[in-house]
Structure 1
């Protein structure tokens, strides 16, 4: 039996793998930080053998509330990811599975590799309305890719969509596949009308370094990008620095930042209600977007989510709060679960890449419903 994490987004340390029913593992911390929770590893040579894999440092992970009722993801082909029996007790997360093939991959959520990211942007640039450019480099020298859909003109709105500031939240880039797939579908009437009314600036992956390194929450330097928006710098957070500079060039009418939540088994939106410049119009737009998305997708709901900040108390280092305040635009954070959607559970797959894609596609409907009201 062989266990490895020596690949894109891999993360696991093997303490002991002498016995398949007593495998001892640990998750590595994000470089330069104390965050950890993302794991991704491969087991080979155990077909038909019951495995018991104990992640012994799970009790020190970033979000302990993410472990109860959680089930790990597994795949034989790295395309279809199913859930496996997972238990959290006394600070140890234990995965139980009997592989049906020679090699099986396990992960915190279905991984989204940098190679797949490159495939996504290469596919998108094939559309006549899409421009692909590199707006800067990360600390590890990777490209910050920006897709621009459409040409600015008088009366057109400016919409920004960003994903994966936290690299372990891979559901965000799966969401992007669905969003881009529908937005660039010339047979979809909603997409066609939206592209007539708005220019889209899309960053499918805000954190390439953390993604490749197998981080949960930070970039190569251990910096949480979603706490950098009021102080972004080339030294610590070039990813935010370059995107924010471009945002200031284009302006923003709507900003949607895509994330995943470890604990809550729901899809929900957090707005910028606590930003000093948030006003009644902003509240009406936020409420309108959430209502329209509820109609577009039964996977979305508004009963569960984060507590709303009191007026004027928002943390402006967070993307949504900062953009709502500086640009006085409709700014939102869309959160998806690592676990499942408790309103529509799926015992075999949980919340999955396919459901992420469908929710991404569904967001075109509230965008169309509100686009004319954004100014």
Structure 2
């Protein structure tokens, strides 16, 4: 007998009919307090060696239906090793075709990053002896908003901030942070050692713990899209942004990176601050140097495809990159990774995944080092 369940961290799907393995009818479940729907993560049991066809019947009504084009879902038997499975999008229906080789298999929109992994990441960072954990406050549902501080914390240090997972379903962002921290905290890495002589890093690995556990794509437990709250956050609706912004104002910011994933574009790219009022030729030159350095550090990065640039003074100041870049007059970027595959370096078996996100995080250390003497 087939069973589909989601009673675990980030589990999310609506089961309409699972009686026939050849015609399993599913639906995407919206975020708990908003209409955004795209993330799914569920466990299928009792179907070993049976060909299963799973239809998401409301895929056309998802937040980003263009994200289903050329997309393949991920699957795992042990929740550690994830691989892509045949997936197609036709007539508004997303269909997964797969014959599981065991009685228990998991399917997800992208390789998950659990709250338990998040807590382990914090513990490993603290255990390095180079990092301290601070509690900035609590989320809507009472989870901790933790900040990792790495460096000497002297006034002369550059102040470099990285945040990730404002949108909780973009799990590649926390995989990126894991890779970044792994290299930055490596005492044998000369680039990291040199950087930490020059800069203090402030890292928020997960801006949206509530949404992550709830299995939301884009919002927190109150239904707020955190990356639209930066101009005027509130303790009631967006405490995650409120507390992080408050800490930034205490420390200052010389470089800001906001790590995300994009549903539709099959590339790694950045979006900057061209649309903020203070944008000038110095910032344009600094952006160019950063992108060249990042391209040299990782062939996965490219600058040909991405979002359309904002017109002068037309940036949405509710977005983190725009608000931080303008308020602190600093280099600020949103980094986007694909949910699909990187079309510049495709991998048929795994597509873009957690490990590739992690490696990109490692490469970011080199890019930051390259521009560190120009940030002030």
Bin the TM-score by the shorter chain. Answer: over 0.9
**Runs of 4+ in structure 1 displaced over 3 angstroms?**
none
- For the residues of structure 2 that align with 1:253 and 1:344, how far apart are their CA atoms? 32
Match of 1:284 in 2: 285
Q: CA deviation at 1:28?
A: 1.1
Counterpart residue number, 1:368: 369
Match of 1:271 in 2: 272
For residues 169 and 221 of structure 1, the distance between their equivalents in structure 2, rounded to whole angstroms, comes to: 18
Structure 2 distance, partners of 1:154, 1:41, is 48
TM-superposition CA deviations, 1:284-336 (whole Å, max 9, x none): 11111111000000000011101111111100000001111111000100000
Q: What is the RMSD of the two structures over their aligned residues, measured on CA atoms?
A: 0.7
Alignment partner, residue 35 of structure 2: 34
- How far 1:283 sits from its partner (Å)? 1.1
- Which sections of structure 1, spanning at least 5 residues, go unmatched? none
Aligned partners of 2:33, 2:133: CA distance in 1, in Å?
Answer: 31
2:9 corresponding residue in structure 1: 8
TM-score by length of 2: 0.99
1:162-205 deviations in Å (ceiling 9; x for gaps):
00000000000011110000000001000100111100000000
How big is each residue's C-alpha offset from its partner over 1:217-259, in whole Å with a ceiling of 9 and x where there is no partner? 0000111000000010101000000000000000000000000
* Equivalent position of 1:62 in the other structure: 63
**Alignment map for 1:1-375 (pairs within 5 Å):** 1-375=2-376
Distance in 2, Cα, partners of 1:268 & 1:295: 14
Deviation per CA, 1:111-163: give whole Å up to 9, x if none: 01101000100110012221101100000100001000012224310000000
CA distance in 2, matches of 1:31, 1:10: 12
**Equivalent-residue separation in structure 1 for 2:360 and 2:89 (angstroms):** 29
**1 CA distance for matches of 2:32 and 2:81?**
29
Compared with structure 1, are the counterparts of its residues 143 and 154 closer, same or farther at alpha carbon in structure 2 (3 Å cutoff)?
Answer: closer
1:33, CA displacement in angstroms?
1.1
**Separation in 2 of the partners of 1:68 and 1:172?**
22
Summarize deviations over 1:80-116 as a string: whole Å, max 9, x none.
1100000111111010100011111000000011010
State the distance in 1 between where 2:331 and 2:58 align.
40
C-alpha separation between the residues in 1 aligned to 2:31 and 2:53? 25
SS in structure 2 of the partner of residue 363 of structure 1: helix
Q: How many residues align?
A: 375
